[in-house]
Amino acid sequence: MKSKSNLEKVLRAGHFAVTAECGPPKGSDVSVLERKGRSLLGCVDAVNVTDNQTAIVRMSSVAACSILKALGHEPVLQMVTRDRNRIALQSDLFGAYALGIRNVLCLTGDHQCFGNQKEAVGVFDLDSIQLVRTVKDMRDENKIIGGDHVDEAPRMFIGAAVNPFADPAEWRVVRLKKKVEAGADFVQTQCIFNLERFESYMKQAVDLGLTEKVSILAGITPFKSVGMARYMADNVAGMDIPDELIKRMSETPKERQADEGIKIAVETIQIVREMNGVAGIHLMAIEWEEKVPEILETAGLSERPAV
């Protein structure tokens, strides 16, 4: 074992892993976070806590991870390089590990122009791959950037994100390879809607031998409505939502659209589960965390392994 992560144990044991995303509140209301956290207890292997996603100010990911851990969750700390330089990132890694956080997901982050602080400076001192390497060097070499030795360095299980649907298409697997070489132990993908493109991506990853080195968690997001599907297709960076899915949602009566969205998500889970090299799923039920148990139960994934 490289780290002291429970998620690593689950994946190493060969179980099909399930993680779910949990967005911290826009404020300091612990009860909101605890409500979301409780709805996910017992049905996921880890809870992945977003870091000011889409550049909207929310409770810090480190604090939210700590609160969720106290509830009994295994948190995955998302860290974006948009808002903090290498001093702050490394300091927060020390702090997060001291609080018992054992997994980190290294991201660059959505550009600040998308959020509610459009006039902010974008830091981008490191990129996501450099952050992956930084966490790895801490864990495996007891070193921080610049080479200084750290006695009690964080021993994190290291994650990264990949988007099989962005352009240039031929570059996407190369970027996965770079992330693996930099030290990623697991990656979670952008929300999968275009199954054909995802299958071709997975085939390339398998052919390059990458799936033997990294656990790929397939990203799943259920639509709440056709409005959400359209919004994501038009406004969310890096999304690839085929027209036929939008059509399927729009042809469903409004009162049944949420059910249809869940049905699509479950179908997607069942298909990706059969794909060679997919080690688990990452559910991103955006502001809909309470539906995660239902989705997992329908997909036959509600029993989580004890490791």
Partner 1 sequence: MIVAERKEINEIRKMIDRYSSILVVGCDSCVAECAAGGQRETVMLAAALRLSYRKDGRDPKITEACLDRQCVVEFIHGIASQVPEHDAVLSLGCGAGVQALARVYTDKPIIPALDTLFIGETEIRGVWQENCLACGRCKLGHFGAVCPVTRCSKKLMNGPCGGSKAGRCEVNPDILCGWDMIIRRLEALGELDRLSEYVPPVNWSSSHSGGPRRVVREDQKS
User: Could you say which residues in the range 241-260 bind partner 1, by CB under 8 A?
Assistant: none
Q: Which of 178, 197, 291, 304 binds partner 1 (CB under 8 A)?
A: 178
Kindly tell me which of 50 and 163 has the beta carbon lying closer to partner 1: 163
Q: Which of 87, 95, 127, 276 binds partner 1 (CB under 8 A)?
A: 127
CA distance 67 to 61: 10
Kindly tell me which of 65 and 144 has the beta carbon lying closer to partner 1: 144
CA distance 41 to 293: 9
**How many amino acids of this chain bind partner 1 (CB under 8 A)?**
33
Cβ 276 vs Cβ 206: under 8 Å: yes
**Is 25 among the residues that bind partner 1 (CB under 8 A)?**
no
Whole-number CA gyration radius for the chain: 18
CA distance 107 to 185: 14
Give the CA count within 13 Å in the CB-facing half-sphere of 72: 10
Cβ 103 vs Cβ 156: under 8 Å: yes
Closest C-alpha among 194, 82, 67, 178 to residue 129: 178
Q: Which of 9, 58, 69, 133 binds partner 1 (CB under 8 A)?
A: 133
CA distance 56 to 120: 11
**Is 284 among the residues that bind partner 1 (CB under 8 A)?**
no
**Is 88 among the residues that bind partner 1 (CB under 8 A)?**
no
**Is 225 among the residues that bind partner 1 (CB under 8 A)?**
no
Is the peptide bond preceding residue 168 cis, with omega within 30 degrees of 0?
yes
Q: Which of 52, 78, 163, 221 binds partner 1 (CB under 8 A)?
A: 163
Q: Which of 113, 231, 297, 307 binds partner 1 (CB under 8 A)?
A: 113
Q: Which of 144, 156, 182, 301 binds partner 1 (CB under 8 A)?
A: 182
**Is 238 among the residues that bind partner 1 (CB under 8 A)?**
yes
Q: Which of 13, 95, 171, 307 binds partner 1 (CB under 8 A)?
A: 171
Q: How is residue 84 written in tokens?
A: 């903090």
The H-assigned helical ranges of the chain are 6-12, 30-40, 61-71, 86-98, 128-141, 172-182, 195-207, 226-235, 243-250, 257-273, 292-298
Kindly tell me which of 111 and 273 has the beta carbon lying closer to partner 1: 111
**Is 168 among the residues that bind partner 1 (CB under 8 A)?**
yes
Q: How is residue 125 written in tokens?
A: 């001192």
Region binding partner 1 by CB under 8 A among candidate stretches 24-32, 69-77, 105-113, 279-287: 105-113
Least distance from partner 1 to the Cβ atom of residue 142, Å: 18
Q: List interacting residues with partner 1 (CB under 8 A).
A: 82, 86, 108, 110-111, 113-114, 122, 124-130, 133-134, 145, 161-163, 166-168, 171, 174-175, 178, 181-182, 190, 237-238
